[in-house]
Chains A and B, each alone.
Chain A
Amino acid sequence: MSEKDLEKIFQEKIDNEVKIEPKDWMPEAYRKTLIRQISQHAHSEVVGMLPEANWITRAPSLMRKVALLAKIQDEAGHGLYLYSAAETLGVERDDTIDDLHAGVAKYSSIFNYPTLTWADIGAIGWLVDGAAIMNQVPLCRCSFGPYSRAMIRVCKEESFHQRQGYSIMVAMANGTPEQKRMAQSAIDRWWWPALMMFGPHDADSQHSAQSMNWKIKRFSNDELRQRFLDATVPQCHLLGCTVPDPDLKFDEETGHWSMGPINWDEFWQVVKGHGRCNKQRLDHRREAYENGAWVREAALAYADKKAKRKQATQAA
């Protein structure tokens, strides 16, 4: 069969919502873009553990601490599901991690912002996981089987993350004047970065058309951003807090909120590596990998020892 015929069959599957599985024929570009997207998604989960891990030892109560630990554990697990999904496309997880450590592979730039107070943990769960959920639910229906199945798993686990965050915001917004101020300050610092998580405006998004055609991406950046805005503004108001957007307006006719302009300079600066924590995040990842080498070596040595012992007893 010619390449053209194979492509035709492939596109027909996509158009008819038939999932593509790892051993099915696929265009090289489809494989490559998925390897990039899935591995970068995996990196984002793992790097995303860092800003929250910052507050484990300072969680204000035992309940908050176990909830935060459980959330961070989930993020590690999500990273692992995604590395597994990426590997079905013929890439080695270690190579993708090398790319991350070399600064070649990206991760979601939201994690380059610092967590300055406990309220930030609330804001992250509510706004950052909230935005992630908005993006990840459509991915459950993406055309590539392993990615879609990984996302279904992730979404099931993610729903407590957002509630955990919002419940922290509720507690603080209904607390002392200082706690209220802290909650508002966290909103002021995380609101716009969360909106930026949806990526550039549709008009400025290069790869989108092909991704939509291949049903990797199901909704445009702006569509998802609008959905997030409509869901989240009322949640902010319910806290008695203000949205840090002087141009925020509700359109009675359409029933949608409209927002002010995004600071794209900030977005691109952070994406290019000049955010508050870019260096810190990567340094931390590299250190963790290097300092953890003894664990990997020990595990392999121990496995080897057990295998030899087993052989010895069987031979005897």
Chain B
Amino acid sequence: MRSKAGLSHRHSGSLHAADAEMALEMARDVYTRRNEGVSIWVVESKNIMASDPEDKEALFEPAGDKIYRHPTFYELPEEVKHM
């Protein structure tokens, strides 16, 4: 569901439907009773490839100690006000 123009689609939930068109109609009925969105995407769950929780460390830990990817790592002279 894209809640408004400019924002990206966010996961709302799952549902059962006979095909993709019906899934769109169902998604409208089940997930937009409170003006939740302006655009719906539906995808069959079999087409979602998910990372394995077991691989969490291998996949995500390397980014943890690369502090030089963050602007706060860099010290600048005081005179430089906006960088």
Using an 8 Å CB-CB cutoff, how does the interface string of B17-39 with A read, 1 for contact, 0 for none? 11101100000011001100000
The stretch from A123-131, A134-142, A163-171, A300-308 touching chain B is A300-308
Known: A93-B16, A299-B22, A303-B22. A77 touches B33 (CB 8 A): yes
**Sampled A-B contacts (30; CB under 8 Å):** A21-B53, A23-B50, A23-B52, A23-B53, A24-B53, A70-B33, A73-B33, A74-B33, A77-B29, A77-B30, A77-B33, A80-B30, A81-B13, A81-B30, A84-B13, A84-B14, A84-B15, A87-B14, A150-B13, A157-B33, A157-B34, A299-B17, A299-B22, A302-B18, A303-B18, A303-B19, A303-B22, A306-B19, A306-B21, A307-B19
Apart from A80-B15, A150-B13, A306-B19, list 11 A-B contacts with CB within 8 A: A21-B53, A73-B33, A74-B33, A77-B30, A77-B33, A84-B14, A84-B15, A299-B17, A303-B18, A303-B21, A306-B21
Question: What are the residues of chain B within 8 A of A93 when measuring CB–CB?
Answer: 16
Whether a CB of chain B sits under 8 angstroms from the CB of A207 is no
Tally of A interface residues using CB under 8 Å: 22
4 tightest A-B contacts by CB? A303-B18, A303-B19, A299-B18, A84-B14
Whether a CB of chain B sits under 8 angstroms from the CB of A237 is no
Which residues of A are at the interface with B, using a C-beta cutoff of 8 A?
21, 23-24, 70, 73-74, 77, 80-81, 84, 87, 93, 150, 153, 156-157, 299-300, 302-303, 306-307
Interface residues on B, range: 10 to 19
Question: What are the residues of chain B within 8 A of A23 when measuring CB–CB?
Answer: 50, 52-53
Least Cβ–Cβ distance between B16 and chain A, in angstroms:
7
Which residues of B are at the interface with A, using a C-beta cutoff of 8 A?
13-19, 21-22, 29-30, 33-34, 50, 52-53
Please classify the interface of chain B as helix (H, G, I), strand (E, B), loop, or mixed, using the class held by over half of its residues.
loop
Least Cβ–Cβ distance between B29 and chain A, in angstroms:
8
Question: What are the residues of chain B within 8 A of A24 when measuring CB–CB?
Answer: 53
Least Cβ–Cβ distance between A305 and chain B, in angstroms:
10
Give Cα A302 to B50, complex, Å. 31
Question: What are the residues of chain A within 8 A of B14 when measuring CB–CB?
Answer: 84, 87
Closest to A70 in B: B33
Give Cα A21 to B53, complex, Å. 9
- By CB atoms of chain B within 10 A, which of A21, A24, A303 has the most? A303
Give Cα A91 to B50, complex, Å. 19
Give Cα A150 to B29, complex, Å. 16
Least Cβ–Cβ distance between A176 and chain B, in angstroms:
34
Give Cα A81 to B29, complex, Å. 12
Give Cα A156 to B36, complex, Å. 12
Question: What are the residues of chain A within 8 A of B53 when measuring CB–CB?
Answer: 21, 23-24
- By CB atoms of chain A within 10 A, which of B17, B34, B50 has the most? B34
Least Cβ–Cβ distance between A22 and chain B, in angstroms:
9
Give Cα A209 to B68, complex, Å. 47
Give Cα A306 to B14, complex, Å. 23
